A and B are shown apart, each in its own frame.
Chain A
Amino acid sequence: MPVYKLHYFKSPRRGRAELSRLILSQAGVEFEDIRFAHCEWPAIKPITPFGHVPILEVDGQVLAQSNTIARYLAKRHGLAGKDDWEQALADMYAENIHDLLNAVAVPFTEKNPVKQKEMYQKFMRDVIVPHVAAVEKQLKKNNTGFLVGNELTWADLAYYAYFSDFLEVKFGSAFLKNAPHLKALIDRVKELPNVKKWTEFRDSTYPEDNE
């Protein structure tokens, strides 16, 4: 087994490293989950390939870019999809989530609380609601309970991380009321034994992530 070291900030809200942590936890693979304080970033930044995190060290060699890291781990540990086409579908869903993370960063970083509330409302209405409808349609079409093929892939973990672990916790489940397939999917992922074990561990070990 290679030695994996995943490096990311201590906060906020788990961020772009969580998908890789979920993949590794679901696959039952050990890794060093390194979280550093923001004050350490100026010293760490120059040793990253492109000045950002997360980065993954694999036996000392370094990979950057959150989805690249997640995809590599998913492929190595059986969560990427069964053939080229399924792997492409999983990639597509993961890139949707990447776009949604970028989109939510805008209200997330707004300092004025009144403006922020307005931005979040617009975001939920204009970005989340249409996307939920589009994914619900794809889930119905695939008709297996999973996003890709008939098995769990990293795409399902990515949707769980964003829609349950982030949005549902922050905004409640109202936005899922017309999306029973998506709701069922994220509930199914939440209850997977290895995922449940991980989330219970991390919620008690890293309470600052829940701020």
Chain B
Amino acid sequence: MPVYKLRYFNNPRRGRAELSRLILHQAGVEFEDIRFPHSEWPAIKPTTPFGQVPVLEVDGQVLAQSNTIARYLARKYGLAGKNDWEQALADMYADNIHDLLNAAAVPFMEKDPVKQKEMYEKFMAETIANHVVLIEKQLNKNNTGYLVGNDLTWADLAYYAYFSDFMEVKFGSAFLKDAPRLKALIDRVKALPNIKKWTDYRNSKYPEEN
């Protein structure tokens, strides 16, 4: 088993390292889950390939870019999809989530609370509402309960991380009222034994993330 070290900030809200953590925990693979305070970032930044985290060390070699890290781990541990086409579909869904993370970052970083509330409302009413309709349509079409093929992939974990672990916690489940299949998917992932074990552990160990 390779030695994995995943490095990321110790907040906020789990961020772009959580998908890789979910993949590793679901697969039952050990790794060093390194979280550093923001004050250490100026010293760490120059040691990263492109001045960003998360980075993944694999037996001392370094990989950057959150979705690259997640995809590499998903492939190694059977969560990527069964053939080139399924792997591409999973990539597509993960790229969607990457875009949605980028989009949510804008209101997330707004300092004025009144403006921020307005921005979040617009974001939910437009970006999220539209995407949920489209994803529900794809889930309907695939008709297996999963986003890709008939098995769990990292795409399902990515949608869980964003729509349940982030959106549902922050905004409640109202935005899912017309998306029973998406709701069922994220509930299914939430209840997976390895996922539940991880989230119970992390919610008590890293309360600052909530």
Contact = CB atoms under 8 A, between A and B. Distances in A.
Chain B interface size, under 10 / 10 to 19 / 20 to 34 / 35 or more: 20 to 34
Contacts of A96: 50, 64-65
B63 A89 contact: yes
Nearest to B50: A134
B188 to A, nearest CB: 22
A85 interface: yes
B50 A85 contact: no
Interface in B71-88: 71-72, 75-76, 84-85, 87-88
B85 A61 contact: yes
A206 interface: no
B131 A50 contact: yes
Interface residues of A, number: 29
Given A84-B75, A102-B102, A76 B84 contact: yes
Chain B at the A interface: SS class? helix
B138 A67 contact: no
A92 B134 contact: no
Contacts of A58: 85
Nearest to B58: A85
Contacts, number: 70
B134 A68 contact: no
Contact of B63 (A75, A76, A92): A92
A65 interface: yes
A128 to B, nearest CB: 13
B3 to A, nearest CB: 14
Contacts of A76: 84
B203 interface: no
B51 interface: yes
A181 to B, nearest CB: 15
Contacts of B69: 88
9 contacts: A49-B92, A65-B96, A71-B91, A72-B84, A72-B88, A75-B84, A88-B63, A88-B71, A92-B68
